[in-house]
Amino acid sequence: MAHTDHLYSELVRLLREAALIGSCGSVLSWDEQTFMPGHGAAFRADQLGLLAGLAHERATSPGIGELLSELERSSDLGDADSDRVVNIREARRSFDRQTKLPRRLVEELSHTTTLSQQAWVSAREDSDFAAFLPWLEKMIGLKREEAAAVGYGDGVPYDALLDDYEPGMTAAEVQRVFTPLRDELVKLVAAIQHSSRRPNLEILSRHYPKTPQIVLAEGASKAIGFDFESGRIDESAHPFCSGFGPGDCRLTTRYNDHHFNSAFFGVLHESGHGIYEQGLPRDSFGTGIGQAASLGIHESQSRLWENFIGRSRSFWQYLFPTARSAFPKALGDVSLDEFCFAINDVRPSLIRVEADEVTYNLHIMLRFEIEQDLVSGKLKPADVPVAWNEKVTQYFGLAVPGDANGCLQDIHWSAGLLGYFPTYALGNMYAAQFYNAAKRDLGNVDDLCSRGDFKPLKAWLNEKIHRHGKRYRASRLVEIVTGESLSHLPLIAHLRGKYSELYGL
């Protein structure tokens, strides 16, 4: 056993070192998006390029491969869910994925991603799909190569891409839950559209000065459990959460003086991600147990706090008096019910990131369908706008006025993030399942929220989900925590219950 211990310690040391280099890159990326002066961009790209190269070099070093092979031959590692076995499993997974890609492909992907994102920025500005098309074609080609290199067993190439973000998940499994979810959502959206009730949205675009917005949002973030001794919130053009490592997690948001939702719900969302990062076991940094289970599980944490808690009436029973004191002019004449209805407005729209809790998932399905067809070769990149616009009409009954508001709206494809979109909707489904389990275990969560007592829920999430890191695959984690496998039903039940009441369905 002493020899195995030694090998394992050495493996952990190498993994930690690679992760530490990666974490230095995270600090530099965060700075790039928050504070870096404009003329620092070219030099920052040099710094980040070097760190990425060093991290890749370490993560794929033959030493790790040899240690893994030796360790995998040991018979006395422990049970399959033990820290050690999980960390070896995850190290193998990551090592294989990174070493299977030929160096030429890694470099071409990196290079193309940079140029393709630049092309996307100006193509979106000009709503000019033709300008982006060559880059999309190139990227799809490279991602198909990546899928072939990584391999996908009996599945489809898309699985290999999806697996990078949602380990163990397949396109077929996503399809199994998306199909009934879509049918139910389309019905729910139609019912809402037929309702005569409409919230007064004007109240959310009144003047909300920035300083009290910061105080309210940071106060809420702290209240739900984001630890400001181990993190902070700054401003950036695109909100994100970056967990540098133990004791340091950075969130960002953006403030709009005439749009209440943007910063407030953005902060709750990122705080959900941040609470997950802060809940990962400190001592396991750099290993599987110290990493989030999957992007879907990560998103479940942000959506749970943003939507299931943050858009609930009970949450605002607690916070509305504070909000009204912070914005006496904007909210002085607004009732709790008017406010809760306004922040839960549902309507078909063109832009994903502005979509409500109900229609959001349809945006995801549309993208999932198109990117599956792109990767399989069934859809040519040149035909994306037509396919996109048809689906928007089919799902939302809307016409797309231009590709900037259609297939050019998201950065993902230009950044090579094929297979990423489904994790957003998976996150919503996981969140609904976790929320039900939390209510089962904790009793009246609404009551706790209305008192502003979020500690039990945060502690439950820490205990049931966060502390395990990647111990269980997402699907198994859901089963262990909720007693049920992945299902669309809890999400649909949540949405149906909540919106039937608001819209009088």
Q: Which is nearer to a second copy, 37 or 153 (CB)?
A: 37
Q: Which is nearer to a second copy, 118 or 228 (CB)?
A: 228
Q: Which is nearer to a second copy, 128 or 227 (CB)?
A: 227
The whole-angstrom separation of Cα 152 and Cα 171 is: 11
Q: Supply the minimum distance, in Å, between the C-beta of residue 301 and a second copy.
A: 20
- Report the sign of the C-alpha dihedral through residues 344, 349, 354, 355, in that order: positive
Asked if residue 248 binds a second copy (CB under 8 A), the reply is yes
* Triad 273, 274, 278: Cα angle to 5°: 125
Asked if residue 50 binds a second copy (CB under 8 A), the reply is yes
Tokens 């037929």 belong to residue = 194
The whole-angstrom separation of Cα 217 and Cα 212 is: 8
Judged by CB under 8 A, which of 12, 14, 21, 358 binds a second copy?
A: 21
Q: Supply the minimum distance, in Å, between the C-beta of residue 141 and a second copy.
A: 32
Are residues 79 and 88 in contact, defined by beta-carbon separation less than 8 angstroms? no
The whole-angstrom separation of Cα 133 and Cα 141 is: 12
The whole-angstrom separation of Cα 232 and Cα 312 is: 25
Which of these segments, 6-14, 49-57, 176-184, 198-206, binds a second copy (CB under 8 A)? 49-57
Asked if residue 433 binds a second copy (CB under 8 A), the reply is no
Of the candidates 390, 489, 388, which has an alpha carbon nearest to the alpha carbon of residue 433?
489
DSSP state letter for 304: I
Judged by CB under 8 A, which of 5, 183, 234, 463 binds a second copy?
A: 234
Q: Supply the minimum distance, in Å, between the C-beta of residue 36 and a second copy.
A: 7
HSE-CB at 415 with a 13 A cutoff on CA atoms is: 9
Asked if residue 274 binds a second copy (CB under 8 A), the reply is no
HSE-CB at 297 with a 13 A cutoff on CA atoms is: 32
Q: Which is nearer to a second copy, 27 or 398 (CB)?
A: 27
**Helix count and strand count (H, E) for the chain:** 21, 3
Q: Which is nearer to a second copy, 23 or 314 (CB)?
A: 23
Asked if residue 201 binds a second copy (CB under 8 A), the reply is no
Q: Which of 173, 184, 270, 306 is catalytic?
A: 270
Judged by CB under 8 A, which of 63, 78, 247, 328 binds a second copy?
A: 247
Asked if residue 10 binds a second copy (CB under 8 A), the reply is no
Are residues 34 and 68 in contact, defined by beta-carbon separation less than 8 angstroms? no
What is the layout of strands, in order, in the sheet containing 231-235? 231-235, 248-253, 241-245
**Phi, psi dihedral angles at 250 (to 5 degrees):** -110, 130
Judged by CB under 8 A, which of 11, 23, 289, 403 binds a second copy?
A: 23
Q: Supply the minimum distance, in Å, between the C-beta of residue 24 and a second copy.
A: 5
Q: Which is nearer to a second copy, 251 or 418 (CB)?
A: 251
Asked if residue 46 binds a second copy (CB under 8 A), the reply is yes
Q: Which is nearer to a second copy, 38 or 62 (CB)?
A: 38
Q: Supply the minimum distance, in Å, between the C-beta of residue 447 and a second copy.
A: 32
Active site residue 299: no
Judged by CB under 8 A, which of 47, 99, 127, 389 binds a second copy?
A: 47
Q: Which is nearer to a second copy, 31 or 441 (CB)?
A: 31
Which pair of tokens denotes residue 340? 């809760």
Asked if residue 245 binds a second copy (CB under 8 A), the reply is yes
Asked if residue 45 binds a second copy (CB under 8 A), the reply is no
Burial of 46 (0-12, 13-18, 19+ CB in 10 A): exposed
How do beta strands 231-235 and 248-253 pair? Answer: parallel
The whole-angstrom separation of Cα 44 and Cα 38 is: 10
The whole-angstrom separation of Cα 23 and Cα 451 is: 38
Spell out the alpha helix ranges (H) of 443-503.
Answer: 445-450, 455-464, 474-482, 489-503
CA distances from 503 to 242, 250, 299, 495 (A): 37, 37, 27, 11
Asked if residue 31 binds a second copy (CB under 8 A), the reply is yes
How do beta strands 231-235 and 241-245 pair? Answer: unpaired
3-class SS of residue 251: strand
Judged by CB under 8 A, which of 93, 100, 206, 232 binds a second copy?
A: 232
Q: Which is nearer to a second copy, 276 or 413 (CB)?
A: 276
3-class SS of residue 452: coil
Q: Supply the minimum distance, in Å, between the C-beta of residue 170 and a second copy.
A: 36
Judged by CB under 8 A, which of 4, 7, 10, 28 binds a second copy?
A: 28
Asked if residue 36 binds a second copy (CB under 8 A), the reply is yes
The interface mask with a second copy, positions 57-96, x = CB under 8 A, is ----------------------------------------
Asked if residue 37 binds a second copy (CB under 8 A), the reply is yes
Q: Supply the minimum distance, in Å, between the C-beta of residue 39 and a second copy.
A: 4
Which of these segments, 42-50, 66-74, 161-169, 475-483, binds a second copy (CB under 8 A)? 42-50
Of the candidates 431, 419, 427, 403, which has an alpha carbon nearest to the alpha carbon of residue 308?
431
Question: Binding residues for a second copy, per CB under 8 A?
Answer: 17, 20-21, 23-24, 27-28, 31, 35-44, 46-47, 50-51, 54, 227-232, 234, 244-248, 285
Task: Just list the catalytic residues.
Answer: 270
